Chain A
């Protein structure tokens, strides 16, 4: 029997096909590993009553309590926050890449992580929204804190496919323009695009008052080039090919990739945002912890 914490491993979570269950298992696994968590029992059930005052939403009246006490009480939950978060998922073709060793594609990993974060948000009565980025902004769901919103977000995530070219900057600008409420923007992308425009778009988001966390998701092969011998490398988006010897260029390639990632990291930090570099084999708890840290910092 798989223990809850094991679902933090992408290779284990991958076995769960339903995204909502996958997200639930990931979160439960994450919470199970926390020693001092204020987020125990991620549930939508109330934790206490308070007297009804004029203006409260009558939907939260506890009629059972009235029947017993003949007094009007309103259900309250463990925490009440005003966190609004957007899950911005890159669905460009490059996100569909799966390394030679198998495992999750970058998009699967991103959607699983996004679903888990969304689940966690809703559990904490935060509002979660979704932005599907492809060649621009494909879809935008404004944040809601209801369970129904989570279902909608998970449903959208489950339907995403990696296609089209990469135009992250356009999509991010569109989000910046349309997101009214100050939110936590969590970008899940491989960032295989020109850093300049993307950073500029992130700056737009920051300028709009949003907090930004950038999760860069790469495959291990993309990061380390753990291929051998003569290879013909082909870019799935541009179709460009490079015939080379992987063993011969591995070191130089690694330098370039590291430089590319470092540039993003530097640029994101300069914006005051957070940057998390991960691969599709990174356990989900690392990302979730970063998210919680950011949430705690803000609230």
Chain B
């Protein structure tokens, strides 16, 4: 028999109470003068034996009542461990990888797993054979009580990187009972049990193959602990393609911070020794950067007084930065991923994808012609797509005022991205610019774009005349509306020709501008046939008009890696070849982007925490598109036979019904009933001798 709460057994000290009552009661007999005492003598002698029995019986009843009550409160459980003579064998695997240090509601996963293991060991009979295996440690073999003591007293001084496959292999090999042994001993199959307590992270299960342990001679109990909370945070990588005399190079920086770790080992320990890995799709090389200790983080600390450290959302403790430089081949774009390793990383936050593009061989001008707050994200979105190693903007950003654009600015550019409305003078310059061979890409801003229709007057109408399409009002896009892959025939979408990994069919739109092509032709349509991008030849140049913008109000196009590729594809198609590469400029108000780096995936411009300089941007896939990297109990179970493995909740470790012995059952009721009987009998015995006033 085992107990759910053996601590309650300390209540057995209450057995002293009825003993004390029994002893003290005997000393309290009072002296009474009675002339007829001689008759009491005879009666006493006649019932002396019965009196002794009555007292002893009452004492026994009261002791039994106390014992039954205490045992019932301790939560007795009967069964599960086998009866003497048919004791089973147990192998308990306890995951001690770094992710087990993750704190959840103030308790680490390891603590939760250990408590579950201690509870299990507390239920086993002393004749059970137990093997306790922890990552990176020698297996311990002994009785349940001995191992329970060892487990309760010992806390890992360091986490191990031994994967669960290796751990389970050692446990299975060390099981006291193999199938052959059970057969020789005449014991029924299934007397051996394997219990695996782990948070089942992808990293922990990296060496676990499906069906690898299907022949394990044991019933398997899988106890996943913890949720999908990451124990380390991996920021968005800042990527840039740099042209060097040796060729194109990829420059990547990514920040890492531990989020929550076990208090005992310190929060930096989970990141110490961790590595950030980066790989380019299609390449075989995986580059590694090892993080330094928390005492000397790679990220430069703010120097001087009053220099605040830029907070990173969700980060706790010091920020570590990893840098990668890799050689690039071809013209790009290049896509890859960066992930956190060695810290037992899990979940999507610890793996990032990026798209790297080479600086365009063209002069690009981005004009922020929108009004209000919307203009900043759109323009920055576009400008960031062309970020290079050089500063994007002068130190003093020019205010948003399309009126400040000068004709010479247009003349000095190969491609002009105009975001938002155009004033009359700007329209004149744009018309002249395009006629002379320039390329204009117009991007709408939902609240500022004015309709322009044929026959109408005003800036909207003039713009509509320039782009060759009527501009209608913004409307909500239908459910599931995206870009039609069939419209990829235009040279504007040369990067998507033949279908690539960055597929324009993936963006989801919330709203769109109603465009009606007149002189222009739809280069790309929505899946419902409406024009999404209109292309028009005008003079010696071309005009491209978008029916959506990069902002969130339009959809997620701006947050997708395809957007950068689209921008570059447009420029490659629109710009004249052979133009020297120059730094791009953004005229208009610049800002911090749609959020600090790391706040969300998407195309944005980042600024270094310490210098305020706009740096390279990063492009990532949307969070929901990453592969599910959460804890995978199913994957763990797939390593065993389908009928042998059972996944249980860590809060209550139960013995599966599939085991040979009976399931441990709550036996508290077995002690409540006799307790009631004892109380009833005692009441009858006592009531048979009426209690009267002690004064008589």
Contact = CB atoms under 8 A, between A and B. Distances in A.
Does A associate with B in a complex? yes
B35 interface: yes
A244 B44 contact: yes
Contact of B35 (A97, A225, A228, A229): A97
Interface residues of B, number: 32
Interface stretch (A25-33, A147-155, A235-243, A264-272): A235-243
B579 to A, nearest CB: 116
Contact of B39 (A97, A227, A245, A260): A260
B41 interface: yes
A243 B45 CA distance: 10
B29 interface: yes
Contact of A228 (B46, B51, B690): B690
Contacts of B50: 248
A248 B689 CA distance: 7
A231 to B, nearest CB: 5
A235 B35 contact: yes
B370 to A, nearest CB: 100
A222 B36 CA distance: 6
B51 A245 contact: yes
Interface string A129-155: 000000000000000000000000000
A100 interface: yes
A97 B40 CA distance: 16
B26 to A, nearest CB: 7
A240 B38 contact: yes
Interface string A221-259: 110011111111111111011111101110011011100
Contacts of A230: 25-26, 28-30
Given A228-B691, A231-B29, A256 B34 contact: no
A171 B41 CA distance: 27
A190 interface: yes
A124 interface: no
B691 A222 contact: no
A12 interface: no
A231 B35 contact: no
Nearest to B691: A228
Contact of A252 (B30, B46, B691): B46
Interface in B12-54: 25-26, 28-44, 46-47, 50-51, 54
B32 to A, nearest CB: 5
A97 B33 contact: yes
Interface in A150-192: 190, 192
Interface in B668-693: 689-693
A94 interface: yes
A228 B25 CA distance: 13
A101 interface: yes
B284 interface: no
A133 B37 CA distance: 22
Interface string B264-291: 0000000000000000000000000000
Interface SS of chain B: mixed
Contacts of B611: none
A228 B692 contact: yes
A274 to B, nearest CB: 23
Contact of A240 (B31, B41, B47, B694): B41
Contacts of B31: 231-232, 234, 241
Given A94-B35, A100-B32, A230-B29, A253 B54 contact: no
Nearest to A235: B37
Contact of A97 (B34, B38, B47, B51): B34
Contacts of A228: 689-694, 696
Contact of A235 (B38, B47, B693): B38
B343 to A, nearest CB: 74
B35 A222 contact: yes
B27 to A, nearest CB: 9
Contacts of A241: 31, 37
A242 B33 contact: no
Nearest to A221: B34
Contacts of B32: 100, 227, 231-234
Nearest to A97: B35
Contacts of A257: 36, 39
A232 B29 CA distance: 6
Contacts of B42: 252, 256
B690 A234 contact: no
Contacts of B689: 228, 245, 247-248
Given A228-B691, A248-B54, A248-B689, A190 B35 contact: yes
A94 B33 CA distance: 10
Nearest to A230: B29
B35 A242 contact: no
A240 B43 CA distance: 15
A175 B26 CA distance: 48
A236 B44 contact: no
A226 B693 CA distance: 11
A256 B44 CA distance: 11
Contacts of A233: 32, 34, 37, 40-41
Contacts of A229: 28-30, 691, 694
B47 A100 contact: no
A101 B696 contact: yes
Nearest to B695: A100
A238 B42 CA distance: 16
Contacts of B29: 229-232, 243
A185 to B, nearest CB: 23
A253 B690 contact: no
Contact of B30 (A101, A231, A247): A231
B51 A248 contact: yes
B427 to A, nearest CB: 115
A226 B47 CA distance: 17
A235 B34 contact: yes
B696 A100 contact: yes
B57 to A, nearest CB: 12
Contacts of A236: 33, 35
Given A228-B691, A228-B694, A228-B696, A234 B34 contact: yes
Contacts of B690: 228, 247
Contact of A192 (B36, B691, B693, B694): B36
A252 B41 contact: no
B30 A192 contact: no
Interface in A86-104: 93-94, 97, 100-101
Given A100-B696, A249-B43, A244 B36 contact: no
Nearest to B46: A252
* Closest A-B pairs by Cβ, 8 of them: A247-B689, A230-B29, A252-B43, A94-B35, A244-B44, A249-B43, A233-B37, A253-B43
13 contacts: A93-B35, A229-B30, A230-B28, A234-B33, A234-B37, A236-B33, A237-B35, A242-B37, A242-B40, A243-B29, A249-B40, A253-B40, A253-B43
Given A243-B29, A256-B42, 6 more contacts: A232-B29, A232-B30, A233-B40, A241-B37, A252-B46, A255-B43
